[in-house]
Amino acid sequence: MSMSPRPLAVAALACGAAAAASALYHRYKPLPAGLGLTGPWRNGQVELLADLTYRAGGKSRTDQQIFRAIEGVIERAESFLILDMFLFNSDYDRSDGRTYPALSQRLTDALLTKRAVAPELPIVLITDPINTFYGSYPLPHLERLQAAGVQVVETRLEALRDSNPVYSGFYRAFLAYLPELPAVLPNALAPDGPRVSLNAYARLLNFKANHRKVALSEAEAVVSSANPHDASAPNSNLGLRVTGPVVADVLASELAVLDFSAPDLARDLRELAAAEVAVGSGSGAEIQLVTESGIRDAVLELLADTGLGDRVCLGMFYLAERQVVAALKAAVARGVTVQVVLDLNIDAFGRTKTGLPALPVARELTNAGVQVRWYATDGEQFHPKCLAVYRGADAPAPAGAGGFELVSGSGNFTRRNMCNYNLETSLRVRAESGSALAQEFAGYWSLIWNNEPVSGTPALFTLPYETKAGGGVLKPALQTLAYRTQEATGLGTF
C-alpha cells in the first residue's frame, strides 16, 4: 500500500527541517580550540623562499627553493618533526601525456632517510583525506612511511565548519550515514587511478580541507603555499622559513589539529615539546602567526592602515573574498598604489577551468584603478598567497620599523580559506623597509612585475591585464554572477 500524500508531505518536511537544522549547526558551531588564531608578535629571523616557473630564451625554466628548505628542516630536526601538507600524492590526469617531477617521492625519501638515521625521533605527517580520495584506497608512499614508524594522520575534517549549507545540511543529516558502498565510480582526481565509492564523492562535495603547508622542528618552521604533489611541482609559490619563539606558536597550532584528529598523539607530543622546543628571542623582524580567520583579520587591518604614498603588492592564486576586494578598492581611492598579480584560474593539473574567480575580480579591480597583471602560466599555476605593503614611498627605502609588512602562507583570499572553514596557516611579518627581507621581496616583485632579465636572458613572467581581459557584455556579466554566487554560498571549488 502506498503512502498517502499527507504522510509523504510530513516526511518531506521533517527531512527538510533536519537538513536545515544540520546546515545551520555545522555552519556556525564552535570551532575546535586553537583555530582562527591571531598570535602574539615575536622577534625572529625570516628567510624568503620563492619557487618560480617562467619563460626565458624560448624555454620554460623553473627555479625552486621551498622544498630544499623543507628538506633542510627534516635533516636538522633533533627532537621532533611535524609536517602538515594538503596534497601529498602523485595523482593527476595523465591522458594528455604530460609528466611531472616525482615531488611526493622526493619528500617521502627525505622522511625515510631521516627515520633511518634517527630511529627514535618522533615524526608526524598530517595530511588531508583527499590524498586517499577520502579513504577509497591506500597510497604506497604513505604506507611506506607508516611502516617505517612515521605517524601518518588524516585530518578529521568533520570537526570543521561547513562552507556550503545548501549541500552540507543534506550531507550531514543523511549522506554521512550511508553504509560503505562498493568502489565502482571513476576517479575524478586520477582517471587511471583506483575506482572510488559514492561515499567518497559525498565527502568531496562537502568542500572542506586541511589546506595547510607547514614543516617544523624544535628549532625552525617553513610556512608556504607549496604542496608536495607531483603535478604541483612546476607551480610558482612563496614561502617563509622562520626561527625564534614563533616556532612554538606554529607547533601549538599543529597540536590543535591533532587534538581533534589524533588526541593521544597530540598529548604525547605536547609533553615532549614543552621541554624540547627552542624559544630563543631571535632578532631581525617581528613575526605573527595567523591561521584561518586570523588571516583575513590581518589582511584587512594591513590594508586599512595604508595611505597616500604607500604601495601594496598582492600575488594570489584565488582572490575572491568580498571584504578584501572592497579593501583593495578603498586603498586605491585613498591614493595607495595597488599592484596585483593573479593566476588566470584556467589550468588545474591538465584540466581546463572557467577562469573564476580571476576574470570577474580582475575586471572589478581594474575598473577601480588597481594595476593588474596575469602570471604567464603554461599548464602550471601561479600559486602564492601573499600581500606586501611598503609604507611611505613607491619604492623600498629605510623608513623605520614596520615600514614593510608581509602576509604569506597557505591561505587564498577567499571566503572558504579566510572565514574558518578550511584549515590554513600564514605568517605576518614586519620589518624596516631597508631590511634584507624587504629588499628581497622587492626584488622578487620587480622581477615578475617588470619581466626583468634572468642572468642576462630576457624573461617572461607576467602579461598585461588587457591581453586576457575578455570582452563583450553578457559573458562578463554571467562570470560575475557565477563568481558572486559561488563565493556567497560556498557552492564552488574556490
Distances, alpha carbon 241 to alpha carbons 209, 229, 296, in Å: 23, 20, 21
Cite the beta strand spans of 57-99 per DSSP E. Answer: 59-63, 81-85
Q: Per DSSP, what are the bridge partners of residue 47?
A: 241
- Name which residue leads in pLDDT, 277 or 473: 473
* pTM given for the model: 0.95
* Residue 481 pLDDT exceeds 90: yes
Within this chain, do residues 201 and 92 fall inside the same structural domain, yes or no? yes
Assigned domain for 393 exists: yes
Of 224, 251, 276, the domain-final residue: 276
Q: Per DSSP, what are the bridge partners of residue 386?
A: 315, 408
Question: Which residue from 332, 35, 344 is spatially nearest to 208, judged by alpha carbons?
Answer: 35
Assigned domain for 18 exists: no
Of 276, 305, 326, the domain-final residue: 276
Within this chain, do residues 312 and 379 fall inside the same structural domain, yes or no? yes
Within this chain, do residues 236 and 324 fall inside the same structural domain, yes or no? no
Question: Which residue from 104, 70, 24 is spatially nearest to 213, judged by alpha carbons?
Answer: 70
Assigned domain for 35 exists: no
Single-letter code of the amino acid located at 343: D
* Residue 2 pLDDT exceeds 80: no
Residue 284's pLDDT is what? 80
Length of the chain: 494
Which residues, at least 6 apart from 494, have a Cβ–Cβ distance to it below 8 Å? 318, 320, 345, 356, 357, 412, 414, 416, 486, 487
| Identity of the highest mean pLDDT range in 190-194, 205-209, 279-283, 391-395 | 205-209
Assigned domain for 294 exists: yes
Residue 274's pLDDT is what? 66
**Strand pairing class (285-291; 425-431):** antiparallel
Q: Is 346 helix (H, G, I), strand (E, B) or coil?
A: coil
The mean pLDDT of 271-283, rounded to a whole number, is 64
Distances, alpha carbon 415 to alpha carbons 265, 302, 357, in Å: 31, 18, 12
Of 214, 245, 276, the domain-final residue: 276
Within this chain, do residues 241 and 317 fall inside the same structural domain, yes or no? no
Q: What is the CATH number of the domain that holds 223?
A: 3.30.870.10
Single-letter code of the amino acid located at 333: A
Q: How confident is the model at residue 97 (pLDDT cuts 50, 70, 90)?
A: confident
Q: Average model confidence (pLDDT) for the chain?
A: 93
Within this chain, do residues 306 and 407 fall inside the same structural domain, yes or no? yes
Within this chain, do residues 145 and 221 fall inside the same structural domain, yes or no? yes
Within this chain, do residues 348 and 472 fall inside the same structural domain, yes or no? yes
Within this chain, do residues 222 and 190 fall inside the same structural domain, yes or no? yes
Question: Which residue from 427, 484, 16 is spatially nearest to 224, judged by alpha carbons?
Answer: 427
Burial label for 163, CB within 10 Å (0-12, 13-18, 19+), is buried
Residue 14's pLDDT is what? 85
Residue 96's pLDDT is what? 77
- For the chain, percent of residues with pLDDT exceeding 70: 95
Q: How confident is the model at residue 394 (pLDDT cuts 50, 70, 90)?
A: very low
Assigned domain for 355 exists: yes
Within this chain, do residues 194 and 337 fall inside the same structural domain, yes or no? no
* Residue 240 pLDDT exceeds 80: yes
Assigned domain for 381 exists: yes
Residue 397's pLDDT is what? 39
Distances, alpha carbon 14 to alpha carbons 10, 27, 172, in Å: 6, 20, 15
Question: pLDDT tens across 111-130, in order?
Answer: 999 999 999 999 999 999 99
CA dihedral 316, 319, 322, 328 (to 10 degrees): 40
C-alpha cell belonging to residue 345: 584560474
CA dihedral 190, 192, 198, 204 (to 10 degrees): 0
Q: For residue 218, give the DSSP letter.
A: S
* Residue 400 pLDDT exceeds 90: no
Q: How confident is the model at residue 276 (pLDDT cuts 50, 70, 90)?
A: low
Assigned domain for 164 exists: yes
Within this chain, do residues 291 and 259 fall inside the same structural domain, yes or no? no
- Name which residue leads in pLDDT, 58 or 361: 361
How many C-beta atoms surround the C-beta of residue 138 within 10 A? 11
Q: Which domain holds residue 434?
A: 285-488
Within this chain, do residues 263 and 395 fall inside the same structural domain, yes or no? no
d(CA 344, CA 353): 9
Residue 354's pLDDT is what? 87
* Residue 313 pLDDT exceeds 80: yes
Q: How confident is the model at residue 472 (pLDDT cuts 50, 70, 90)?
A: confident
Assigned domain for 17 exists: no
Question: pLDDT tens across 16-48, in order?
Answer: 898 999 999 999 999 999 999 999 999 999 999
Q: Which residue is listed with cell 611535524?
A: 82
CA 50 to chain centre: 15
The mean pLDDT of 349-364, rounded to a whole number, is 88
Within this chain, do residues 271 and 350 fall inside the same structural domain, yes or no? no
SS (H, E, C) 1-45: CCCCHHHHHHHHHHHHHHHHHHHHHHHHCCCCCCCCCECCCEEEE
Question: pLDDT tens across 178-236, in order?
Answer: 999 999 999 998 888 899 999 999 999 999 999 999 999 999 999 999 999 999 999 99
User: 319-331: string of b/e by CB count within 10 Å (b at 16+)?
Assistant: bbbeebbebbbeb
Considering its fold, how many domains does the chain have in total? 2
* Residue 351 pLDDT exceeds 90: no
Residue 398's pLDDT is what? 35
Q: How confident is the model at residue 278 (pLDDT cuts 50, 70, 90)?
A: low
Question: pLDDT tens across 133-192, in order?
Answer: 999 999 999 999 999 999 999 999 999 999 999 899 999 999 999 999 999 999 998 888
d(CA 357, CA 478): 12
